[in-house]
Amino acid sequence: MVAGSIKEGLKMSEMPSVLAEYHRKLKAGEVPRPVRRLPKASDVRRAIREKCHECVGYERMIPTIRGCTGYSCPLYAYRPYQEKSNG
């Protein structure tokens, strides 16, 4: 069985045994380990920038984002257009 595929007609009651068999084969090296693709840094930066633009309503974006006071936002420390600190 390939990771992510389910045979037609597989019942929910059979899932635990199918998963247990897959995990056994995975540990034994009989099936390849699935690879997770990590997002590129540029994709992450773009997503953060777009969220900040949305948050400020797409108006006067750079100065508004630079002066952001949303300290409780989880992206606050990563927001774009921050002033460079010399320290």
State pLDDT tens for residues 12-37.
677 778 888 888 888 898 888 887 77
Q: State the pLDDT confidence band at 8, using cuts at 50, 70 and 90.
A: low
Neighbours of 81 (CB within 10 A): 14
Give the burial class of 78: count Cβ atoms within 10 A of its Cβ; 0-12 exposed, 13-18 middle, 19 or more buried.
Answer: middle
Cα–Cα distance for residue pair 50/87, rounded to 1 Å: 28
d(CA 27, CA 24): 5
pLDDT tens column, 38-87:
778 888 899 999 999 999 998 888 999 999 999 999 999 999 998 877 65
Do 47 and 75 form a contact (C-beta atoms < 8 A)?
no
